[in-house]
Structure 1
Amino acid sequence: MPIQPEPPPPATGSGRSAETVLVEHYGRLVRIAYLVLPPRTGGHGRVLTAHRVVQRSLPRGASPGGGYAEIRARVLAAALRAGRRTGPGAGLPLVLGLRLSPSVGGADGLTAAQALAGLSAPARAALALAVVDGLPDREITDALAVARVDDPGEALRAARTVRDALGGTAENVLRTAEFDPGHVLLHPTDLLRRRLRRRVATASAAALLAVTAAVVTGAYGDGPDRTGPTGTAGPRGAAAAAVLDPAALRKAPADRWADTARVDFSAWPARGGRSTDRALLRRALRAWGGDDSSVRVTPSSGTGSEPPSAPPSLLFAGDVDGAAVVLLHDGLRVARYAEPLRGSGTAVLDLARTDRADVTTAAAVVVSRTPEGTRYLLAPWIAEAGTRDLLRPDEPTRPVAAPGGVTPVLAGPGAGGGCTAWPVLSLRSSARIVEQHSFLVTDLGELTPAHLTHTPAPGSGVPARQPREATGPSGLAVWARTACTLGGLRGQGVRAVNDWTYARQPLPGEGGTATWVCTRADTWAGAGRVTVWFRPPGGGPGSPGTAAAARADTAACSRFDQHVVAGTTWRAPDGAWWAVAAGSRATARITVRGTTVDGATAAVRAPEDATVDVTAFHADGTPFSPPAATR
């Protein structure tokens, strides 16, 4: 059934009371607030903050009047302010013992969520006004201006780019329950911690046992359906016990990966020599459940550390490099529990997001990391594995044996010092799921390695802006120069990195041909970080070129923002200095330091220390600028 648009909002000059307007259109307003808030807030905090923003939007003062547009402006301004805060919001509605999240959607919802994550808050506001309230462009920019957005036009252009890329998805999916904080799912959160708190409170306040029990029961929702002293268990107690029960662990059939349309961690079978060791599995589950304070818990960037809400899947349990290791997966995260086999070392639990994993990003998990190197557990669909050095693109891949799916200790990129080598894993998927599919992944200090791709230059005979695996000569040549910049992405929750050669530029003064490359790192949390490189001829492996532009939390150089331009200064072989700039293939003309040149590249004489101001234009006259102003 097609999604019907919401009825139009009331006229601006409604004479009804502000409270009446807010109550009548509460659902519309809270959806707008939710779309404006940053996705990195997480579902629970984002839902609560959206409700708080709307509930506090009533005007203060004597006048009871207030039209819809006035209240919407207050909601927009408050949501934009809330999105700039990094700490927990004060005055959130109180929800104890439960986590709230919107309904789970399908692939279109995931695509829309990724698009939202790549937009700035003002652009998300513009998209929300267009989709939820159906406002025309002029009214959107007016509403953003009232909300004190610095550049409403830029926000509208960014929103329009994403809306065009999504097509009908933006119109339909953003109106569904998946993006509606008024329709949420409830999950238990801290059942185990509350049990511990109750025991501590009871022991320290025995004289007030009855009062304490009443307070705990009322404040934390600890009722008769929890496991009590008599051993009876209601629904919530049974759910908590199941999460900690090794017998409830899910185990995929050995060949599930070869006969499923979902090739990710959910298709991994349980492997390892201790997959039936219930004592070890119970300790791992208790650590994830928060029931063992001696375990050091380390979540990756953007990853929550809360217990799983249902029994997870077992991926591996075995002894590796002096530790008992357990790998678990709850549908959203991979957890690695490791305890020393000997001595008195501390057990650790590492967590990493994997909610958008696929055949490449679910291809390997770190099973052991030591000073000597890293061992991986490879996905069951990996037919061949090898290693190669990105800085030596002409050398062949060296095969690696992985009995039982576990690789030998492999050298990783140096965490510090000079960049003399950048080892990567070269993997090939089984022909049972895809033919001739090889790809590269690299260790960036996370549980899962990052997938490396490249997008060839214009005119290379491939579809425009389509990332390819970086295993061929052109991809390896580009990554040979970019490799040493990957060190700056360590520990940031990076899912994949793409090198896009978006332009070639003949240089003046017989300077040869330069290339312009946009390196985009996408994180599991959805945010993107880009750096635009100017590469004149003559640079070798490890020399990325000149950073001409850079920006974090952006959709630039992705499918949702396929237009890029940047400029910098360059010295010709004859000693003359030039301001050079290049745009992607849809660029019709470029203005550099006040001079306009037709085409996608430009070069004008400039002093060595010149500031290179660049603006590019599409054929219809629409302008766009570099991701960030640089020299």
Structure 2
Amino acid sequence: MQSQDVAKRPAPGTAADRVVDVEQAEAALVEHYPRLVRLAYLVLPPGLGRGRRVLTAHALVQRALPRGRASAPVIPAQSTGRDGDPGYAYVRLQVVRTALEAGLPLRRRAWPKRAQLPPLLPQVWGLRLFPRSGGADELALDQLLSTLPGPARAAYVLRGLEKLPDGDVRKVLTGAGVEPDDVDEALREAETIPAARYPLLDSPEFDPCSLQARPTDLMRRRQHGKAALAAAVALGVCGALVALPGDGWAPDGAAAPPYAKNPAAEAALDPGRLLKVSPVAWKTSARTDFSVWPARGALVRDEALLRRALAVLARPGATVRVSATPDTPAGGPSGPPQLLYAGDVDNARVVILYDGLRIARYAEPKGGTAGAALDFARVDGASGAESGAIVLGRADGNVRYLTAPWVTEAGERDLTKPGAGMMGLTITDGITSPLSSPATRTGTCTTWNVLQLTDASGSHLLTDLGELVPARLTAGRPSSPKSAAGAEALKTWAPFACSLADTRGQGVRTVNVWSYTRQSLPDATGSAEWVCTRAETWRGDGTRVLAQFRTPGGLFGAAVAKAGDVPSCGPRDPHVLAGVLWKSEAGTWYLLAAGDKGTRSVRATGGVTGSADGNLLAVRARQGAKADLKGTLKDGRPVGGLH
């Protein structure tokens, strides 16, 4: 266990020590600031809450500089750019020491240490800042770390994040003031968490430099502001009355109660008033959306669980991890929401609610409410295939879905291999068996697994992009896209499936791929394919258009142009023009440009000049040249090239 007192900083006194000055430590701090803040965030006790951990981590790192010249034990950092750097070793030691101090309990007869107090700076008013929420793996790791005492948590992080061997971990903990006996115990306790989870320490879940911002509890803040104003007014009135001659205080006044009851808000917090749709309502309804989903799961009658979910939905506490797709309003519903699911999913209890605008997913560990999470996704206007599935949970790189009651078959297929066929998934009470998810995958993309659902209208493809509701995939001309489950659509998607990674976490509703033309290459080696993909979001704006180019024999396409919030390649303006510098097998560089079949002419200006009738252009160019593309449509309208 960690001792209640942390030793003072080690003084120089051995030949093994190196002298570090302020400039050297500052250079290491600035260069490796994101890693140091992540280290502090992971070592700090999770009980502080995500928002306070973020600010405290930044404060501890910014206070880690020495006041003058100091000594630092030679503890190698094991990574390029930090190996053997005494400045980094010194700053890291101070970060670990103060992060451990922050986890010590306050004592009555001792002054609190600076690290135990909330940071004065940095400070943010009116906003809650926290890292992006990860998957079930990151949540499970955070819960496991919260069960360890501070030194054991630091030992695990130094092993996994800093890649230090046990001998150097021992030096850091001893230098941070942990007693030798406690260091041995910390190393043993750190081994209770598998080393296989080390890569998760680099997850965005634990990155305090890449943050989400949400407002604080607006109602509570407003109430506190009104209360402070009322107190100031009352104090002034009381002072005036005391100064008046006579009795001073008047009899009872016409004072209103401090809080007026809101029947709609009370009803929204009552689990007995949750809307539960009949299991057969969808069979006779003309609607095919979330409003006709029945309530499923083994815990739909667990009022205690439902009450907690509704309370968190209305007023999430500081320790609850809240995430939402972009521009999705947070806060409680205006009335009782509809219950879609309540049950056990892996190691969590999950409740899914729908209020006509949003899907809300509340999840808490089976062992308690510490580490609860609340996720929102906007789904207004969802119908048919767009309301075919909701993410129940993610674990070990897999995802499980709750499917619509009208789904008759589910399967998994690799979008990069159109001829590989579909692998069937079992559906039990609407829940699919686990399938591989590309949502949090890192590294080189070689596969992209998607969900295929079949209902009375046909088969549809959905992909997990890291949010509550998977995005629907379509293919074809933007004015009339079709399901991507057909054979031709699968062939079109295959070389460009990995480009979906560019749309993760953006609140995407649908992604359409359109092979708008082919172009014969100047060296007579075949023809290249030009494709545009367009991702539409639930909020309407934030669309992402990507033009891609694939040469003969290429397994994957290359993105050559990208644009956001433009009508190109969409239902309002189904036209596109893009270009790329291409090197032939003979070593000659060309500017290739292509528009869709509705393009009458193409012209290049700037670093490359040339023009051509029709929708294709190929002119010689220099390596690295830049050009502007302009086109004219057959109806006379101009069209600009995507950049």
Same-fold status (TM-score > 0.5)? yes
CA distance in structure 2 between the partners assigned to 1:406 and 1:288 by the alignment: 23
Return the offset for 1:368.
Answer: 1.3
Q: Distance in 1 between matches of 2:363 and 2:226?
A: 28
Shift of 1:238: 0.8
Structure 2: how far apart are the matches of 1:594 and 1:203? 71
Shift of 1:627: 2.5
1:426 corresponds in structure 2 to 452
Residues in 2 aligned to 1:484 and 1:594: alpha-carbon distance in whole angstroms: 33
Partner residue in 1 for 2:465: 444
1:544 aligns with one of 557, 569, 581:
557
Match of 1:455? 476
1:341 has 2:348 as partner: no
Trace 1:133-212 onto structure 2 (pairs within 5 A).
193=220, 197=224
> Which range moves more in the overlay, 598-607 or 252-261?
252-261
Give % identity. Answer: 45
1:360 paired residue number: 385
Letter paired with 1:374? V
- Cα distance in 2 for partners of 1:482, 1:303 equals 29
Q: For each residue in 1:448-491, what CA deviation from the matched residue of structure 2 results, as whole angstroms up to 9, or x when unmatched? A: 111111116xxxxxxx8421111122221222211212222211
Report Cα offsets for 1:178-201 as digits up to 9, x if no partner.
xxxxxxxxxxx9896379749987
Out of 293, 313, 333, the position equivalent to 1:268 is 293
Which residue of structure 1 lines up, in the alignment, with residue 509 of structure 2?
A: 495
Q: Distance in 2 between matches of 1:192 and 1:294?
A: 18
The answer to which of 487-496 and 322-331 deviates more is 487-496
Aligned to 1:511: 525
Match of 1:314 among 339, 347, 350: 339
> Which of 577, 586, 589 is the equivalent residue of 1:574?
586
CA gap 1:297/1:281 in 2 versus in 1, 3 angstroms: same
- Structure 2 alignment gaps of length 5 or more: 1-123, 126-215, 239-254
> Per-residue displacement from partner, 1:481-525 (whole Å, max 9, x unpaired)?
112122222111111111111111122221211111111111112
What residue identity is the alignment partner of 1:426? Answer: Q
Is the contact between residue 385 and residue 426 of structure 1 (CA under 8 Å) also seen in structure 2? yes
Q: Is the 8 A contact 1:334 1:353 kept in 2?
A: yes
Distance change in 2, residues 1:209/1:473 (3 Å): farther
Residue from 402, 416, 424 that aligns with 2:442: 416
User: 1:504 corresponds to which letter in structure 2?
Assistant: R
Q: Tell me which structure has the larger Cα radius of gyration.
A: 2
SS where residue 567 of structure 1 aligns? Answer: strand
* Structure 1 counterpart of 2:179: none
Q: Give the conservation status (yes or no) of the 8 Å contact 1:510–1:573.
A: no
Query: Residues of 2 paired with 1:526 and 1:315: CA distance?
Result: 26
Q: Structure 2 CA distance, aligned partners of 1:562 and 1:331? A: 31
The CA deviation at 1:594 is 3.5
CA contact (8 A) 1:243 1:308 kept: yes
Question: Partners of 1:226 and 1:363 in 2: how far apart?
Answer: 46
Separation in 2, partners of 1:498, 1:376: 22
Structure 1 stretches lacking a partner, 5+ long? 1-86, 89-188, 212-222, 457-463
The aligned counterpart of 2:611 is 596
* Residue in structure 1 matched with residue 621 of structure 2 by the alignment: 606
Distance 2:237 2:274 in 1: 37
Q: Which amino acid aligns with 1:330?
A: D
Give the alignment's TM-score, normalised by structure 2.
Answer: 0.59
Q: Of 281, 303, 308, which aligns to 1:278?
A: 303
Matched, 1:473 2:487: yes
Distance of 2:633 and 2:491 partners within structure 1: 30
Tell me if structure 2 keeps the 8 A contact 1:589–1:597.
Answer: yes
Letter in 2 for 1:415: R
What secondary structure, in the 3-state scheme, does the structure 2 residue paired with 1:275 have? Answer: coil
**Other-structure match for 2:407:** 382
- Post-superposition shift, 1:609? 2.5
Instruction: Give the Cα separation in 1 of the matches to 2:510 and 2:217.
Output: 32
Q: What letter is aligned with 1:272? A: G
State whether residues 628 and 641 of structure 2, in contact with CA within 8 Å, keep that contact through their aligned partners in structure 1. no
Verify the 8 A CA contact 2:609 2:627 in the aligned structure 1.
no
- Asked if the contact 1:302/1:524 (under 8 Å) is kept, the reply is no
**In 1, are the aligned partners of 2:411 and 2:452 still within 8 Å (CA)?**
yes
Distance 1:609 1:262, change over 3 A: same
Q: 1:197/1:477 Cα in 2 relative to 1: closer, same or farther (>3 Å)?
A: same
1:48 is aligned to none
The equivalent residue for 2:150 is none
Amino acid at match of 1:295: V
Structure 1 residue 619, shift from structure 2 partner: 2.8
The separation in 2 between residues aligned to 1:519 and 1:569, in whole angstroms, is 20
Q: RMSD value over aligned CA atoms? A: 3.1
Preserved contact between residue 441 and residue 450 of structure 1 (Cα < 8 Å): yes
Aligned partner of 2:538 in structure 1 is 524
What is the TM-score when the length of structure 1 is the normalising length?
Answer: 0.60
Paired residues for 1:22-171 under 5 Å: none
Measured against aligned partners, the alpha-carbon deviations of 1:238-273 in whole angstroms (never above 9, x if no partner) come to 111011111221122222223333311111111111
CA–CA distance in 2 between the matches of 1:399 and 1:297? 34
Q: Deviation of residue 548 (structure 1)?
A: 2.5
The total of aligned residue pairs comes to 410
Q: Which residue type is aligned with residue 468 of structure 1?
A: K
Cα-to-partner distance string for 1:120-170 (whole Å, 9 max, x where unaligned): xxxxxxxxxxxxxxxxxxxxxxxxxxxxxxxxxxxxxxxxxxxxxxxxxxx
What is the CA distance between 1:372 and its match in structure 2?
4.3
> 1:624: which partner in 2?
639
**How far is 1:560 from its partner?**
1.1
Distance in 1 (CA, whole Å) between partners of 2:402 and 2:236 is 50
Q: How does 1:3-18 map to 2 (within 5 A)?
A: none
